[in-house]
């Protein structure tokens, strides 16, 4: 039976179709989910895609966090449903308190778009098992509010528990503390990151790399072997 991975569309989502394509390329079935629908339609995992939901008013992800679909996502994530938040999706996950910390505007106050080098720090989550710990990859990055922040206690806890999933290498593009590009929850089923793996899944389009495809093959293997 084919694994079904839901992709939520919020008002202002930009990368939902790209994410669906990445899921399809990995061999799973993408399922479009609408932000006003509480029903997840029996999907096996959920991706919150990138974009500028609700125009990033108040704070990035602050309004989307209260969309009806998030009520179910939060409940199911706490019960073990794999959830990936990409860029705006990462912001939504912090606003929903499924991941600790928060996102602020880039320290240089400009939108940034670049091919970003990352180091995989945790290859044991539902979304990163097809990587190797310490592996360096290139994933496109595009954001205005990408600076990850948290209090010192939270940062120390993330580091001590190995919950920093990805770290920026060579260049910190937004001033994120500890060069953090992505984190995971304690259970490893919820992961958020600012770069866009769905833009690095085919050699002929996007970045021209396929470094992002293991996100989607990782979750597929997790679901098939569950």
DSSP assignment of 42-63, as one string?
T-SEEEE--B-GGGG-SSTTTT
Separation between Cα atoms, residue 21 and residue 224, nearest integer Å: 19
The dihedral formed by the CA atoms of 92, 80, 183 and 120, expressed in degrees to the nearest 10: -130
Which residues are catalytically annotated? 87, 196, 198
Q: Within a 13 Å sphere around the CA of 205, how many CA atoms are in the beta-carbon half?
A: 9
Handedness of CA 116, 120, 125, 130 (dihedral sign): positive
| Nearest of 51, 82, 65, 46 to residue 196 by alpha carbon | 51
CA distance 13 to 219: 22
Distance separating alpha carbons of residues 155 and 166, to the nearest angstrom: 14
Q: What angle do CA 177, 180, 186 make, to 5 degrees?
A: 110
């Amino acid at each position: 039976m084919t694994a079904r991975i839901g992709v939520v569309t919020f008002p202002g989502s930009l990368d939902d179709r790209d994410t669906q394509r990445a899921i399809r390329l990995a061999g799973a079935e993408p399922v479009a989910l609408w932000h006003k629908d509480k029903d997840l339609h029996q999907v096996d995992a959920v991706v919150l895609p990138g974009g500028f939901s609700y125009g990033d008013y108040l704070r990035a992800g602050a309004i989307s966090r209260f969309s009806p679909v998030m009520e179910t996502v939060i409940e199911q994530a706490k019960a073990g449903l794999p959830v990936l938040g990409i860029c705006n999706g990462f912001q939504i996950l912090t606003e929903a308190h499924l991941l600790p910390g928060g996102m602020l505007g880039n320290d240089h106050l400009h939108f940034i778009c670049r091919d970003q080098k990352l180091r995989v720090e945790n290859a044991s989550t539902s979304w990163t098992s097809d990587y190797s710990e310490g592996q360096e990859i290139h994933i496109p990055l595009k954001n205005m509010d990408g600076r990850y922040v948290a209090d010192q206690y939270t940062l120390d806890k993330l580091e001590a528990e190995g919950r920093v999933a990805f770290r920026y290498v060579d260049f910190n593009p937004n001033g994120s503390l500890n060069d953090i590009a992505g984190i995971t929850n304690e259970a490893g089923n919820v992961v958020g990151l600012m770069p866009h793996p769905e833009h690095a899944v085919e050699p002929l389009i996007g970045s021209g790399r396929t470094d992002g495809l293991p996100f989607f093959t990782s979750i597929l293997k997790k679901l098939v072997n569950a």
